[in-house]
Structure 1
Amino acid sequence: MLTKIPKQFYFFLAAIFILNLIQSSFTQLIFDEAYYWYYSQDMAWGYFDHPPMVALLVKISSFFFNGELGVRFMSCVLSAINIILLWLMIDNPKKNDYIKHFFVLVFSMTLLNAYGFFTLPDTPLLFFTSCFLLTYKYFIKKPTAGLAILLGIFMAALMYSKYHAVLVIFFVLLSNLKLTTNKYAWLAVIIALCCYAPHFYWLYENDFVSIKYHLFERPNGAYRFEKYTLGFLVNLVAIFGLTFPFIYKALFKTKGNDLFSKALIYLTYGVLIFFFVSSFNRRVQTQWIIIVCIPLVVIAFNYMLQNKQALTWIYRLGLINTVLILYLRMGLAHQPLLFNFHYESHGNKEWAKAIEEEVGNIPVIFENSYRNAPMYSFYTDATPTFSLNNFMYRKNQYSIDGSEEQIRGKDVAYISQYDKNPTFTYEKEDGGLYKGKYIANFQSYRKLSCIIEDTPITLNSEKSIDLKIYNPYPEAIDLNKLKFAVTYMDNYKTPVETLKMTPKPKQTTVTTLKQQDTTNFIFQLPKTKKENIGYFRVVISENGLLYGLNGQAIPVN
């Protein structure tokens, strides 16, 4: 199959692959990449925010290279193979005469271009979407056990990449409901479930923390048309740049005359409609809709081969896109090219080294920053680092792994935006300010869990509420070291007011929280005059730190 691809195709492919390798080597990490690099330092079947495929890519990359390329190498490899897979999905015999047009189409898609070197969960999601679709293309022609097994493996790989990969599987199935009566299709489902079983077990062992976060705990706000729905519509343009009118025209003009074309159309419309509806509830991030780039490459290129006007205009506008993208890519590595616009790939190594020079080799704790903690660790080789999350932030991987244990009892540098009397400061290139101080014998207990089972609860009620506090630590914790409060939140779980309260142990002799045990308390909600209160959370401050995220958000009447 691969031998039928013309040499010219491989020349273009090699040029893009080399460009991505160079870009990867000379562009500093963005914050999400540093966070996924942190994942890879402790390989597991799952992580707080995402399944583990992105961590696996980083781990494999690190076997070949150090530094930034040691994070991104596999992304470069997968993106090159992905282009081959896209080419193989196109059956038109005229395609070999328009190789340069194909590469302009692919390279001019902004996010598809960016994920050619960035290592993010969408990188494997794009690759395995192509693997899944190409396998499905052959499966519907002649189902076999071998193709079914391959299809099942790719479905599992999709889900190991990102949870909303379920949309790919669902909309392809919706395009061909006869699959529900196909024994080989059921074999594919069984294989996928077996391959995905380790992640199911990880979710169970970790109280389904990832599912709870994505469904119930992600930050949100009141609906604003310009931020949510209009923002989604702008994203539809942004992912294709100047070629967008012709890309969407190709979609509108394409008919599902065969099962594969029908699958591509269902997948594209399905994802777009799903996230359009979602835009009335929350802000849709640009990368969430990037899946549509895969079917739309095939749809648009087939349309170009049939329509000379589309061929000409997509090629011309795609070249303009390409020039702009190349300029922006150079700016990612070298800030002055972006007219002093500061992007998150600029200056991270510099601020990390500056803080290291100040604090030496002691552990560094960043308050409310799962972004800064791994970035500092990556560019200084410093371990351990830690993100201490409080009630004004959100939980993340640092909330569930063993990183807190590595810094407890040690002398640390503590960096917080809330510190009014810092010992040292460092101003970043973008104007941000790091403020730090030194803490001896640091002690935190962020994994203390506050459990309330009777919900919902009436606001400003005199009723006593049962509270269970679970101490997962291997030592008892003196209650005198702890302060308790209730954080009231609005309907979007944004903190509004935090009021102190003192829970009473049900057993009057209790002075500690026993190790790896649950202690029972009762308390009353402190009264508040604030309006629009939708939730409350019981929170704990230990040793003078800001209150943590110890309890779930509980609805109030």
Structure 2
Amino acid sequence: MPQNRPRLFLFFICGIFIINLLQAHFTELIFDEAYYWFYAQEMSWGYFDHPPMVALMIKLSSFFFDGELGVRFVSCLLSIGTLIVIWAMIDDEKKKGHIIDFFVLALSMTLLNAYGFLTLPDTPLLFFTALFLLAYKNFLDKNTFVKALVLGLTMSALMYSKYHAVLVIVFVLLSNLKLLTNKYAWMAVIVALLSYLPHFIWLYENDFVSVKYHLFDRPNAAYNFNKYTLGFFLNLVAIFGLTFPWIYRSLLRTKASDLFTKALLYLTYGFIVFFFISSFNRRVQTQWIIVISIPLAILTFNYLLKDEQTRKWVFRMGLVNIIVIAILRIGLIYEPLFPIYYETHGNKDWVKKVVAIANDNPVVFENSYRFAPMYEFYSGHPSYSLNNMNYRKNQYSIDSSEFRVQHKKVLYISPYIPERDISYKRTNGDIFYAKFIDDFASYRKLECIVDESELDDLINNNLSLKVYNPYTIDIALDKLKFGVAYLNAYKEVRDTQPINDLKPEQKISVLKANDTTNFTFSLPRTDMEDPKYFRLGISENDLPYGLNGTNIKIEQWNQ
């Protein structure tokens, strides 16, 4: 190998790393990054929406830097690690003469580029997918205890990154079912399960809250071909930009000549088919399919080494992609270059406005796991998202952040406050209204448990309700109001009604601390036609009804 070849590869890797570091430092956080930064303030083996890898990355980054780079530093490391691992999986010796082609291909992939500096669960997902495939490739060469150990640890790291990483493992397994009779493969599975055990324990201790949300509680909408299925195909194009015809052509023309190539093909086609089927049920987000960037980078590069026309067109269109992506990346920092308002623009500005209004008091945002952590990151002051029954649960629903604002004077911010004496405008033109609450008290952890065995005839029966108070203080009943939300088949709230006939089984005035109180009630009437679910909520001190109960399916409705 000529002496300049490894230097050229190292030059590109170092250059990309430096550019990503600069981008990470000068670009304001996006809302999801702020939310994951909030995760990292209280390290745990799990979080409401995701496993803990993204929080660990942010915590490690914070040991080296402050500010935005203190959120993104590890992401910059993993992104160049992903490129190095992809390069290592390409066996063709001709690759040494096509280093520039490799980087043009990799850098032209839109989200692979974006996750070079953003800290999102997909960042470690991409890295550990590449590392898992490399470990599997080495495992195929020769089965040993050490290789089984490495394979198991990479599988565990994948699952600690994002739940749908299980699809990566499943599709690779389906490509080689003989693994089911391989003792070293089973050893790798045991290692993976043992190292993932802390998260399993966390899920159990938290009533499998993440699993329930992702599989059962996420709201949806009626099927729309343009938004769902057509949108899925547009996403398949968007993740590769102008190079997509040659990338998918490479995929179609690649044959499974060995077990590793077969795994890459199964992984790619598996994800495409799985999420194509999913598109008939819900909107498939672009990042859900980003995993195919890893196998397709390998398959496409191997193919363009053999096909000169593909190599030329990928190089030409890849350069155009890179120029467009570069302009957009600069636009993330310098707003006039970006074609539309984006969430990296103006966050410091609106946070300053709120700080000036709040005057060092904590800030409570109604229904916003996005604004609350962004405010706290840039202001350094405590904030909280008060989630109500028209929204959804999130990390603020299960952690201890509520206690930081209890019985304090807070600035309460919502788009819906009728008192409009305090307001501020965001960069995109949205106006939010605010009011001060002198003694803020919320009890969002109260749990409403309905006896579902009584649901045969909802209107004519008195239903049994248990209300569990997990707090260490008694809560006065006269501070609470109970209500019900009615949801459609897609779990969208369409009506809310107060419960006016709630009766305790015994004469009481408080919900006792760490205790359960029994009530009876009947569902109030609703103007909603054919509701499919209902959910109970509690309003404390005239705050909006909370998310205190689960979605309960209505089997029979006789209004």
User: Where on the TM-score scale, by shorter chain, does this alignment land: which range?
Assistant: over 0.9
1:351 maps to: 350
CA distance in 1, matches of 2:126, 2:518: 49
| TM superposition shift of 1:338 | 1.6
**SS in structure 2 opposite 1:6?**
helix
CA, structure 1 residues 456+61, in 2 after alignment: closer, same or farther (shift >3 Å)?
farther
Quote the Cα distance in structure 2 between the aligned partners of 1:5 and 1:61: 32
Task: Note the C-alpha offset of 1:455.
Answer: 5.1
Does the 8 Å CA contact 2:218/2:491 hold for their aligned counterparts?
no
Hey, what does 2:217 align to over in structure 1?
Answer: 217
Q: What corresponds to 1:174 in structure 2?
A: 174
Whether contact under 8 Å (1:49, 1:396) holds in the other structure is: yes
Whole-angstrom CA distance in 2 between matches of 1:377 and 1:240: 35
**Cα distance in 2 for residues equivalent to 1:52 and 1:21:** 23
Amino acid at match of 1:406: R
Shift in Å, 1:506: 4.4
Alpha-carbon offset, residue 331 of structure 1: 0.4
Partner of 2:536, secondary structure, is strand
Residues of 2 paired with 1:29 and 1:528: CA distance?
A: 42
Partner of 1:362: 361
Distance in 2 (CA, whole Å) between partners of 1:179 and 1:259 is 11
Relative distance call for 1:201 and 1:406 in structure 2 (3 A) is: same
* Corresponding position: 1:284 with 2:305: no
- Report the Cα distance in structure 1 between the residues aligned to 2:543 and 2:502, rounded to whole angstroms: 22
SS in 1 for 2:464: strand
**CA distance, structure 2, for counterparts of residue 431 and residue 506 of structure 1:** 48
Q: Do the aligned partners of 2:172 and 2:267 also contact (CA within 8 Å) in 1?
A: yes
Question: How far apart in 1 are the matches of 2:456 and 2:362?
Answer: 44
2:489 maps to 491
Q: Which amino acid aligns with 1:330?
A: I
Q: Which residue of 1 aligns with 2:310?
A: 310
Please state how far the C-alpha of 1:422 moved relative to its aligned partner.
3.1
Give the distance between the partners of 2:331 and 2:306, measured in 1 at CA.
37
**Counterpart Cα distance in 2 of 1:317 and 1:456:** 63
Structure 1 residue 441, shift from structure 2 partner: 1.1
Aligned to 2:421: 423
1:461-476 to 2 correspondence within 5 Å?
461-476=459-474
Q: How big is each residue's C-alpha offset from its partner over 1:372-414, in whole Å with a ceiling of 9 and x where there is no partner?
A: 00000000111x2100000110000000000111111101000
Q: Is the 8 A contact 2:271 2:289 kept in 1?
A: yes
Q: Which amino acid aligns with 2:319?
A: L
For the Cα contact (< 8 Å) 2:8–2:99, is it kept in 1?
yes
Q: Deviations over 1:46-67 (max 9, x none)?
A: 0000000000000011111111
Which of 444, 452, 455 is equivalent to 1:454?
452
AA aligned opposite 2:386: L
Give the alignment partner of residue 519 of structure 1, picking from 517, 520, 524. Answer: 517
SS of equivalent residue, structure 2 residue 466: strand
Q: Which moved more, 1:49-58 or 1:3-12?
A: 3-12
Q: Give, as a single letter, the amino acid of the residue that structure 2 aligns with 1:160.
A: Y
Counterpart for residue 301 of structure 1: 301
Alignment correspondent of 1:380: 379
User: Hey, what does 2:542 align to over in structure 1?
Assistant: 544
Match of 1:64 in 2: 64
1:318 and 1:536 map into 2 onto residues whose CA distance is 51
Verify the 8 A CA contact 1:460 1:526 in the aligned structure 2: no
Q: Distance in 1 between matches of 2:485 and 2:134?
A: 51
Alignment partner, residue 199 of structure 2: 199
Is the contact between residue 423 and residue 438 of structure 1 (CA under 8 Å) also seen in structure 2?
no
The 2-side partners of 1:311 and 1:275 are apart by 29
Give 1:47's aligned residue. Answer: 47
Distance, in Å, in 2 between the alignment partners of 1:456 and 1:227 is 39
Corresponding position of 1:236: 236
Q: Secondary structure at the match of 2:435?
A: strand
SS at match of 2:428: coil
CA distance in 2: counterparts of 1:261 and 1:4, whole angstroms: 30
What is the aligned partner in structure 2 of residue 147 from structure 1? 147
Residue of structure 2 in register with 1:184 after alignment: 184
- Residue 393 of structure 2: which of 379, 391, 395 is its match? 395
Amino acid of the residue matched to residue 95 of structure 2? K
1: CA distance, partners of 2:501 / 2:118: 48
Contact map agreement 2:420 2:433 (CA 8 A) in 1:
yes
Q: Distance in 2 between matches of 1:155 and 1:455?
A: 41
Structure 1 residue 266: Cα displacement = 0.2
Give CA deviations for 1:420-471 in whole Å, capped at 9, x if unaligned.
1133111111011121110011110111110013158357621111111111
CA distance in 1, matches of 2:473, 2:501: 21
What does residue 320 of structure 2 align with? 320
Give the TM-score normalised by structure 1: 0.98
Residue by residue over 1:283-317, the C-alpha shift from the partner in whole angstroms, topping out at 9 and shown as x without a partner, is 00000000000000000000000111100000100
Give the aligned residue type for 2:544: L
Within 5 Å, which residues of 2 pair with 1:1-150? Answer: 6-150=6-150
In the TM superposition, residue 493 of structure 1 has moved relative to its aligned partner by 1.2
One-letter code aligned to 1:517: D
CA distance in 1, matches of 2:71, 2:343: 16
SS at match of 1:193: helix
TM-score by length of structure 2 reads: 0.97
Match of 2:440 in 1: 442
Measured at CA, do residues 505 and 514 of structure 1 come closer, stay the same or move farther in structure 2, by a change above 3 Å? Answer: farther
Cα distance, 1:260 vs structure 2: 0.2
Partner amino acid, structure 1, of 2:355? E
- SS of 1:64's partner is coil
Separation in structure 1 between the aligned mates of residue 5 and residue 477 of structure 2, nearest angstrom: 71
Query: 2:527 and 2:384 mapped to 1: Cα distance?
Result: 36
C-alpha distance in structure 1 between counterparts of 2:211 and 2:501, whole Å = 30
Greater mean deviation of Cα atoms: 201-210 or 3-12? 3-12
Q: Which amino acid aligns with 1:548?
A: G
Are the equivalent residues in 2 in contact too, given 1:456–1:554 (CA < 8 A)? no
In structure 1, what is the Cα distance between the partners aligned to 2:165 and 2:64?
A: 28
Which runs of 5 or more residues in structure 2 are unaligned?
none
Cα distance between partner residues in 2 of 1:547 and 1:458:
26
Deviations 1:85-113 (A, max 9, x none): 00000001100111000000000000000
Where do 4+ consecutive residues of structure 1 move more than 6 Å?
Answer: none
Pair 1:552–1:5, CA change in 2 (3 A): farther
Q: 1:513 to 1:503 in 2, by over 3 A?
A: farther
Aligned twin of 2:499: 501
The reply on whether 1:257 has 2:249 as its aligned counterpart is no
CA distance in 2, matches of 1:355, 1:458: 50
SS at match of 1:140: helix
Q: Spell out, residue by residue over 1:214-235, the C-alpha distance to the aligned partner (whole angstroms, 9 max, x if none).
A: 0011121010000100110100
**1:457 & 1:227 partners in 2: Cα distance?**
36
Contact 2:454–2:461 (CA under 8 A) maintained in structure 1:
no
In the aligned structure 1, how far is the partner of 2:97 from the partner of 2:345?
41
For 2:4 and 2:152, locate their aligned partners in 1 and report how far apart those are by CA, in whole Å: 27
Distance 1:326 1:4 in 2: 27
CA RMSD of aligned residues (A): 1.4
Aligned counterparts of 2:502 and 2:367: Cα–Cα separation in 1: 30
Letter in 1 for 2:428: D
Q: Tell me, in whole angstroms, the C-alpha distance in 2 between the residues paired with 1:377 and 1:316.
A: 44
Tell me which residue corresponds to 2:271.
271
**Which deviates further from its counterpart, 543-552 or 414-423?**
414-423
Counterpart of 1:480 in structure 2 is: 478
The amino acid across from 2:247 in the alignment is: I
Residues in 2 aligned to 1:502 and 1:184: alpha-carbon distance in whole angstroms:
63
Aligned length: 554
- In 2: Cα distance, 1:506 partner to 1:497 partner: 25
The 10-residue stretch of structure 1 (266-275 or 503-512) with the greater mean CA deviation from structure 2: 503-512
